Amino acid sequence: MATVDAAYGKLDFVAIAKGIATFLSGGMPGYISVGVIIIMLMGVFWYFKAQIKKWIYQSSLAEIGRNAAKQKEDEQKASNDLEKAADQTNQIIGQNPDAGKPHRPTPAETIED
Partner 1 sequence: MRILFLFIILLATACAHIKSDDMSPLAASQAQYPTIELNINKQLYNGLALISLPVGSRWEDLNFSIQGYNEGQVRVTSNSCNLDYSTVYVKNALIRVPIQGEVTKDCVFGVSMGFKLPREKWSGIKVWPIIGWVVVKAVAKDEEWVGTYRKVTGQFLSTWKIKSGDTNPVQVFLNGCGVAYQKMITPKDGIVEIELSEAMTMNTKGICILDGVLISKDFANLRLNSAVVQYDPNFVPLSIPVYSLDAKGLYIKAEESVTIIGVDQYFVFQQEGTFTFDEGKEHVVRALTVKGRTILGLYKEGKWKWLQ
Q: If binding is defined by CB under 8 A, does position 106 make contact with partner 1?
A: yes
Q: If binding is defined by CB under 8 A, does position 5 make contact with partner 1?
A: no
Instruction: For residue 45, give the H/E element and its range.
Output: helix 30-95
**Interface residue with partner 1, options 9, 26, 29, 105 (CB under 8 A):** 105
Which CB, 28 or 82, lies closer to partner 1? 82
Q: If binding is defined by CB under 8 A, does position 14 make contact with partner 1?
A: yes
Residue 29 to residue 38: CA distance in whole angstroms:
15
Three-state DSSP class for 60? helix
- Phi and psi of 11, rounded to 5°? -75, 135
Three-state DSSP class for 10? strand
Residue 77 to residue 80: CA distance in whole angstroms:
5
Q: At what angle do helices 30-95 and 13-24 cross, to 10 degrees?
A: 120
Which CB, 28 or 44, lies closer to partner 1? 44
Please report, as residue ranges, which positions from 81 to 100 form the binding site for partner 1 (by CB under 8 A).
81-86, 88-89, 92-93, 96, 98
Q: Which residues bind partner 1 (CB under 8 A)?
A: 13-14, 17, 37, 41-42, 44-45, 49, 52-53, 56-57, 59-61, 63-64, 67-68, 71-72, 74-76, 78-86, 88-89, 92-93, 96, 98, 101-111, 113
